[in-house]
A and B are shown apart, each in its own frame.
Chain A
Amino acid sequence: MPLIKIDDREIEVEKGITVLQAATAEGIEIPYYCYHPALSIVGSCRMCLVEIEGMPKLQVSCNTSIGELPPERKKDGKYDMIVRTQTEIVKRERENVLEFLLLNHPLDCPVCDQAGECFLQDYSYKYGRAHSRFLEEKRVRKNEYLGSNVIINHNRCIMCTRCVRFTREISGTNELFVQARGDNSKISIFEDKSLDNLLAGNVIDICPVGALLSTDYIHKNRFWNLEEKKSICTDCSVGCNILVYSQNNRIFRINARENHSVNGYFICDIGRYGFHRYEDAEKVTSPLIRSDGGFKPISWEGALKEIYEQFSRSKDGEKHQIVGIASPFHTNESLFMFGRLMDNIFKDKSIIGKLPFIEDYEIHFDSGFRISKDRSPNRQGLLDFCLNLEDEILQKVKTGKVRLCYALDDGVDRKLDEEWESFFKSQRFLVVQTYAMTPLAKLAHLILPGPSPMEREGTMTNDQGRIQWLKPSVSLTNKTRPDWEIIMEFMNTVGKRELKYSSVNEVNLEMGERFPSYRGMTFFKIGYQGLPKKNIATSRPSEGGQAGNTVT
Chain B
Amino acid sequence: MNSVGDGQLTFQFSAAERVEQILSQYPDKRSATLPLLHLAQEQVGYLTSAAIETVAELVEVHPGEIMDTVSFYTMFYTKPKGRNHIQVCQTLSCSLNGADSLVDHISEKYKIAPGEVSQDGKISLVKVECLGSCDTAPVIRINDSYYEGMTVEKFDKIVESF
Q: Within the complex, are A and B direct neighbours (CB within 8 Å)?
A: yes
Using CB atoms and an 8 Å cutoff, list the residues of chain A in contact with chain B: 144-145, 168, 173-181, 188-191, 193
A144 engages B1 (CB within 8 Å): yes
- Please measure, in the bound complex, the distance between the C-alpha atom of A189 and the C-alpha atom of B49, giving whole angstroms: 13
A191 engages B4 (CB within 8 Å): yes
Known: A180-B71, A181-B72, A191-B49. Contact between A175 and B1, CB under 8 A? no
Known: A144-B1, A189-B1, A191-B49. Contact between A176 and B64, CB under 8 A? yes
**13 interchain pairs (CB within 8 A)?**
A173-B62, A174-B64, A175-B64, A177-B64, A178-B68, A178-B72, A179-B2, A179-B67, A188-B2, A188-B71, A190-B67, A191-B4, A193-B64
- Chain B residues whose C-beta falls within 8 Å of the C-beta of A144 in the assembled complex: 1
Give the nearest-CB partner of A145 in chain B.
B1
A177 engages B61 (CB within 8 Å): no
Q: Does B156 contact A (CB under 8 A)?
A: no
Give chain A's interface secondary structure class. strand
Rank and list the top 3 A-B pairs by shortest CB-CB distance, nearest first. A174-B62, A177-B68, A190-B64
- Chain A residues whose C-beta falls within 8 Å of the C-beta of B61 in the assembled complex: 174
Known: A173-B62, A174-B61. Contact between A191 and B68, CB under 8 A? no
Q: Does B65 contact A (CB under 8 A)?
A: yes
Give the nearest-CB partner of A176 in chain B.
B64
Known: A188-B1, A188-B2. Contact between A193 and B62, CB under 8 A? yes
Q: Does B63 contact A (CB under 8 A)?
A: yes
A72 shortest CB reach to chain B, Å: 42
- Chain B residues whose C-beta falls within 8 Å of the C-beta of A179 in the assembled complex: 2, 67-68, 71
Q: A144-B1, A190-B67, A191-B63 are in contact. List 20 more A-B contacts (CB 8 A).
A: A168-B65, A174-B62, A174-B65, A175-B62, A175-B64, A177-B64, A177-B65, A177-B67, A179-B68, A181-B71, A188-B1, A188-B2, A188-B67, A188-B71, A189-B64, A190-B49, A190-B64, A191-B1, A191-B4, A193-B62
Give the nearest-CB partner of A172 in chain B.
B62
- Chain B residues whose C-beta falls within 8 Å of the C-beta of A177 in the assembled complex: 64-65, 67-68
- Please measure, in the bound complex, the distance between the C-alpha atom of A178 and the C-alpha atom of B3, giving whole angstroms: 15
B71 engages A190 (CB within 8 Å): no
A190 engages B72 (CB within 8 Å): no
- Chain B residues whose C-beta falls within 8 Å of the C-beta of A145 in the assembled complex: 1
A130 shortest CB reach to chain B, Å: 36
- Chain B residues whose C-beta falls within 8 Å of the C-beta of A190 in the assembled complex: 2, 49, 52, 62-64, 66-67
B158 shortest CB reach to chain A, Å: 31
Give the nearest-CB partner of B56 in chain A.
A190
Give the nearest-CB partner of A173 in chain B.
B62
Interface residues of B in 1-15 (CB under 8 A from A): 1-4
B4 shortest CB reach to chain A, Å: 7
A154 shortest CB reach to chain B, Å: 12
Counting chain B CB atoms within 10 Å of each CB, the highest count among A144, A173, A174, A191 belongs to A191
- Please measure, in the bound complex, the distance between the C-alpha atom of A193 and the C-alpha atom of B64, giving whole angstroms: 8
- Chain B residues whose C-beta falls within 8 Å of the C-beta of A189 in the assembled complex: 1, 64
Known: A191-B1, A191-B4. Contact between A180 and B64, CB under 8 A? no
B63 engages A193 (CB within 8 Å): yes
- Please measure, in the bound complex, the distance between the C-alpha atom of A175 and the C-alpha atom of B63, giving whole angstroms: 8
- Chain B residues whose C-beta falls within 8 Å of the C-beta of A168 in the assembled complex: 65
A312 shortest CB reach to chain B, Å: 67
- Please measure, in the bound complex, the distance between the C-alpha atom of A176 and the C-alpha atom of B65, giving whole angstroms: 8
- Chain B residues whose C-beta falls within 8 Å of the C-beta of A178 in the assembled complex: 68, 71-72
- Chain A residues whose C-beta falls within 8 Å of the C-beta of B4 in the assembled complex: 191
B40 shortest CB reach to chain A, Å: 16
- Chain A residues whose C-beta falls within 8 Å of the C-beta of B65 in the assembled complex: 168, 174, 177
- Chain B residues whose C-beta falls within 8 Å of the C-beta of A191 in the assembled complex: 1-4, 49, 63
- Chain B residues whose C-beta falls within 8 Å of the C-beta of A180 in the assembled complex: 71-72
- Chain A residues whose C-beta falls within 8 Å of the C-beta of B68 in the assembled complex: 177-179
Give the nearest-CB partner of B70 in chain A.
A179
- Chain A residues whose C-beta falls within 8 Å of the C-beta of B71 in the assembled complex: 178-181, 188
- Please measure, in the bound complex, the distance between the C-alpha atom of A174 and the C-alpha atom of B68, giving whole angstroms: 11
- Please measure, in the bound complex, the distance between the C-alpha atom of A193 and the C-alpha atom of B53, giving whole angstroms: 11
Give the nearest-CB partner of A180 in chain B.
B71
Give the nearest-CB partner of B3 in chain A.
A191
